[in-house]
Amino acid sequence: MMQLTGQFLIATPSMPDTRFAHSVVLLCAHSDQGAMGIIINKPLPDLRLPTLLTHLDIARSDGATGLGGDIPDMPVHFGGPVETSRGFVLHSPDFFSAEGSLAVADGLVLSTSVEILSEMARGQGPGAALVALGYSGWGPEQLEREIQAGGWLLAEASAPMLFATEDGRKWAAALAQIGVDPRMLSGATGHA
């Protein structure tokens, strides 16, 4: 079985599930039991990090390190259609919690505990982060079938793509990383 943890999944135009149209997903776990990932380029239209911290009743403080003195007005992303009220933080490896963090790829960590949001509110969190609600999940061999059917392309995950590329450009940038021009992709796939 090919190990896909730490890869970007890039939705092709033939992706049948409209929730994943033009999505880039960071695969955080992949085994014979299934796969789990976070969509990295779909910010929620009406939710920003300061509002999320307020909803969670997490106290904010000013003037510390990490993300800076003030909590940035960063978007909260739609991580996928599974457990949409559950939070995930993809971040740089300068923050790691033994209870809730998992190294996903070089320079990329996934944290699931509320502790990271509390640290971010105090200015003690990671230097770079992407916050998401929900995740994308696949059952055993489901993802492999979707890849074989032409719904996804694969690219090596990278911190610069995740943290430094504008959300609206991530899909085209991920395709360019593997030498694919999005204008050349078709919604129809064939099988030889």
Domains, the chain = 7-184 (3.40.1740.10)
DSSP secondary structure string for all residues of 7-47? EEEEE-TT-S-GGGTT-EEEEEEEETTEEEEEESS-EEEEE
**Rg of the chain over CA atoms, in angstroms?**
17
Output the pLDDT for position 186: 65
Q: Count CB-CB contacts under 10 A for residue 145.
A: 11
Instruction: Please report, as a single letter, which amino acid is at residue 65.
Output: T
Q: Could you tell me which residue, 184 or 53, shows the higher pLDDT?
A: 53
Scan for tokens 């976070």, then name that residue.
38
Mean pLDDT computed over 154-163: 96
Output the pLDDT for position 58: 86
pLDDT-derived band at 60 (thresholds 50, 70, 90) equals low
pLDDT digits (tens, 9 = 90+) for 164-182: 999 999 999 999 999 998 8
